[in-house]
Chain A
């Protein structure tokens, strides 16, 4: 973890890691010396500019070994920004901003399927995403709902998305075009 505040945090990871984070993924970070775990949704992934790679692109007939070196060995940092949407304290999941941000150099983990199902059982976190100024919120909501839906058994997905749609309809009653844009993309068959 590189930096944080109450509304979110940014962490770094290496490009060759097998589990490259995805936009809309749910992740968690420890806070308050392990008393709580902050739950967040990835809203931006930045791969920093690399002058070395730039000049290699211009090289003719680049052998595969050089490409492998760049992809597997080089520590090209990618910065991943996360929007905090809730936290867990003991066995309780709370949807809302955490009392404290995570501390730098803490390790960030991807949420397990059970974590995702438990956290998205209620839909209050959707309001936090909608109020965020960080990102195209409709894109983030679609991606997050797809992850949360995909974590559930097939037979539960339709009900989950219908409940999410109802909550969005309530929250976006004054912005029907945005609501329409989101609902079109969270069809049950996704």
Chain B
């Protein structure tokens, strides 16, 4: 039957009206949020005590640094010569309806030598995983979040390798198209692999630190509200607040940090904050890789684009490295419509299209047949192929 769009028109109209009214509602809450941000001062002992208590309650807000929380920093001058590097990855998940059990991780990278009028160096590296220990790390099929985590590590390793080579020629900025806090699902205890993967990830971050390159994770259209949680905490009068009080955003409900910082002018960045997530203040901090973040307007006056930039503490502490993340991202975004050009290109180099996936399946099927194994997809997958390829509807 497919999607009958005519049956959706009324719902779509109502949705449009609801979205408009919600948007007006949310906008009305912004002035108070901005006013609270202006009120917060550094070294406020009451706020510091509240933060301490909140951290003991697994609060996930933003911890201020030495920079005033409402400070704004203009875009610094870009070095005349710098290497701007990006890596991205994509994956093909194991498919129990496919011809064979395997998964694929493909990483793409680009080295843009700013200041030299030469074509950037591009590469991509596909890796197929089909051994039992790859597919069944805990005697069960590898879950998608672990495949994603392996992809994230592959991206980071690619950057580490490139950094070792490139830092010899100029200051080097490495960029990733996501945050630097590795998402490991629910991190349930049965997945001891989560711990192993996190250790591997943090070791690779340390390797990058030792190369003298700097690294930044770039998040477009961030939905996070860490700074708003700080504002909420500031507003709470009760010194013995509990988890419930800090879990919600109160007057700032449905706002995001991106909205809060949408007043940044083109190229400007916000103050730097520490991400208070337990993961960050646990293993990341203990291994010297505490993650901090700032917001930057990488767009124009007419079309602001607020990006969230995550950096390790060792980048934030080195003014030249911090400046390079700021200037490098803003400069690259000039040619990517508000998003760094090198990240667009590294995605393009990494992405596995449906057509390429089909060709890979054909290659795998050919290899299996040559080895005397039958290569057939499940009946369900076959049915989907028949019906999805060309939807037809007769009568009715």
Cα distance A56–B335 when bound, in Å? 6
Q: B344 is contacted by which of A52, A63, A72 (Cβ under 8 Å)?
A: A52
The verdict on B345 contacting chain A, using a C-beta distance below 8 Å, is yes
The verdict on B341 contacting chain A, using a C-beta distance below 8 Å, is yes
Interface residues of A in 64-81 (CB under 8 A from B): 64-66, 68-69, 71-74
With both beta carbons as reference points, the residue of chain A lying nearest to B337 in the complex is identified as A55
The verdict on A154 contacting chain B, using a C-beta distance below 8 Å, is no
Given A56-B335, A59-B335, A65:B118 Cβ within 8 A: yes
By a CB distance below 8 angstroms, the chain B residues around A20 are: none
Interface residues of A in 49-65 (CB under 8 A from B): 52, 55-56, 59, 62-65
In the complex the two chains form, is B118's CB within 8 Å of A66's CB?
no
With both beta carbons as reference points, the residue of chain B lying nearest to A75 in the complex is identified as B348
A-B contact count (CB 8 A): 38
Binding-face segment, B62-70, B109-117, B280-288? B109-117
In the complex the two chains form, is B335's CB within 8 Å of A68's CB?
no
In the complex the two chains form, is B334's CB within 8 Å of A59's CB?
yes
Interface string of B301-344 (1 = CB under 8 A from A): 00000000000000000000000000000000011010001001
Interface string of B170-184 (1 = CB under 8 A from A): 000000000000000
The verdict on B101 contacting chain A, using a C-beta distance below 8 Å, is no
With both beta carbons as reference points, the residue of chain A lying nearest to B120 in the complex is identified as A69
In the complex the two chains form, is B348's CB within 8 Å of A74's CB?
yes
Q: A68 is contacted by which of B110, B114, B118, B341 (Cβ under 8 Å)?
A: B118
Q: B117 is contacted by which of A52, A55, A68, A71 (Cβ under 8 Å)?
A: A68
Interface residues of B in 104-149 (CB under 8 A from A): 110, 112-114, 116-120, 122
Interface residues of B in 258-317 (CB under 8 A from A): none
Given A55-B337, A56-B335, A74-B348, A63:B119 Cβ within 8 A: no
By a CB distance below 8 angstroms, the chain A residues around B120 are: 65, 68-69, 73
Nearest-Cβ distance from residue A162 to partner chain B, whole angstroms: 48
Q: A62 is contacted by which of B114, B116, B335, B344 (Cβ under 8 Å)?
A: B335
Interface string of B73-97 (1 = CB under 8 A from A): 0000000000000000000000000
Interface residues of B in 338-379 (CB under 8 A from A): 341, 344-345, 348
By a CB distance below 8 angstroms, the chain B residues around A63 are: 117
By a CB distance below 8 angstroms, the chain A residues around B110 are: 69, 73
In the complex the two chains form, is A65's CB within 8 Å of B122's CB?
no
With both beta carbons as reference points, the residue of chain B lying nearest to A52 in the complex is identified as B344
In the complex the two chains form, is A66's CB within 8 Å of B335's CB?
yes
Nearest-Cβ distance from residue A107 to partner chain B, whole angstroms: 15
In the complex the two chains form, is B334's CB within 8 Å of A65's CB?
no
Nearest-Cβ distance from residue A33 to partner chain B, whole angstroms: 16
In the complex the two chains form, is B119's CB within 8 Å of A69's CB?
yes
In the complex the two chains form, is A65's CB within 8 Å of B117's CB?
yes
Cα distance A71–B118 when bound, in Å? 11
In the complex the two chains form, is B345's CB within 8 Å of A69's CB?
yes
In the complex the two chains form, is B348's CB within 8 Å of A64's CB?
no
Cα distance A69–B110 when bound, in Å? 10
By a CB distance below 8 angstroms, the chain B residues around A69 are: 110, 112, 119-120, 122, 345
In the complex the two chains form, is B116's CB within 8 Å of A65's CB?
yes
Given A65-B112, A65-B113, A72:B119 Cβ within 8 A: yes
Q: B114 is contacted by which of A65, A71, A74 (Cβ under 8 Å)?
A: A65
A sample of 7 inter-chain contacts (CB < 8 A) reads A59-B335, A64-B117, A65-B113, A68-B120, A69-B345, A72-B119, A73-B122
Which B residues are within 8 Å of any A CB, using their own CB? 110, 112-114, 116-120, 122, 334-335, 337, 341, 344-345, 348
Q: Which 4 residue pairs of A and B lie closest in terms of their CB atoms, listed nearest first?
A: A68-B119, A64-B117, A72-B119, A73-B122
What 19 new A-B contacts, CB under 8 Å, besides A59-B335, A73-B110, A74-B348? A52-B348, A56-B335, A59-B334, A65-B112, A65-B114, A65-B117, A65-B118, A65-B119, A65-B120, A66-B335, A66-B341, A68-B117, A69-B119, A69-B120, A69-B122, A71-B119, A73-B119, A73-B122, A73-B345
